[in-house]
Amino acid sequence: MKTANLTKRQQAVWQFIQAFLREEGRSPTLKEIADGVGSSAVSTIHKHVQHLIDKGFLERSHGSGNNIVLAGAPEADSAPPPVPEPGVGRMLPFYGEVAAGAPLLPESRALPLEVPVAIHRDRDDLFVLRVKGDSMVEDAILDGDLVVLQQRGDYRNGERVVVLIDGEEVTLKELRRDGQGIWLIPHNPDLSPRCYAPERIQVQGALVGVMRSC
């Protein structure tokens, strides 16, 4: 890979991400990248990051935070992901939009949607939703993206989850529990976390992967 194939702004983003990963030991958020290269537009930074992914300089780490890593670098605390086989996928139920303002459809009404093996990795109890809104933009999850989620018996603090609020509203947020209740934390600097009584929240599934909307 040659950085000469990158624009000056893409090179600046690439160099900042390399330095940040080396010094901090974690992926920077889009806001941190924007601040680091002197940009005020997170959406523009996301486009630069996506170009770096498309050109093979970066990869997505399909974990709880959907982080970005250097291409070819192993993911922290996990085995390297399997190499996807061309044309190999798995049909999963697609339930519609995350923030559609209604509970998930029953499985009998879900539409089948093919998901690459690199994302589903033969996990059980998976389903797909389409993101509506920009509350998780700092995780590089944008309006229109498809998110793959897993239903489980327990969910950990820090996981990105889809929850049902008051039996009506479905939303994707970071999950945190403390003595005050359950916090749903957006990853958008323009939005604020909100705390709910536990009985108001039903976790539907944890994020395991993202598919970019075309």
Higher pLDDT residue, 30 or 109?
30
Reported pTM: 0.59
Task: Indicate the pLDDT class of residue 76, thresholds 50, 70 and 90.
Answer: very low
Say if residue 131's pLDDT is above 80: yes
Distances (CA, A) of 142 to 8, 47, 131, 145, 187: 25, 11, 7, 6, 11
CB 198 within 8 A of CB 164: no
94 and 36 housed in the same domain: no
Say if residue 103's pLDDT is above 60: no
57 and 101 housed in the same domain: no
Q: Which of 70, 104, 127 is the last residue of a domain?
A: 70
**CATH at 125:** 2.10.109.10
Q: What DSSP designation does 197 have?
A: -
Within a domain: 77: no
| Residues designated as active site | 135, 173
How many domains are contained in the chain?
Answer: 2
Which domain covers residue 61, as residue numbers? 3-70
pLDDT of residue 44: 82
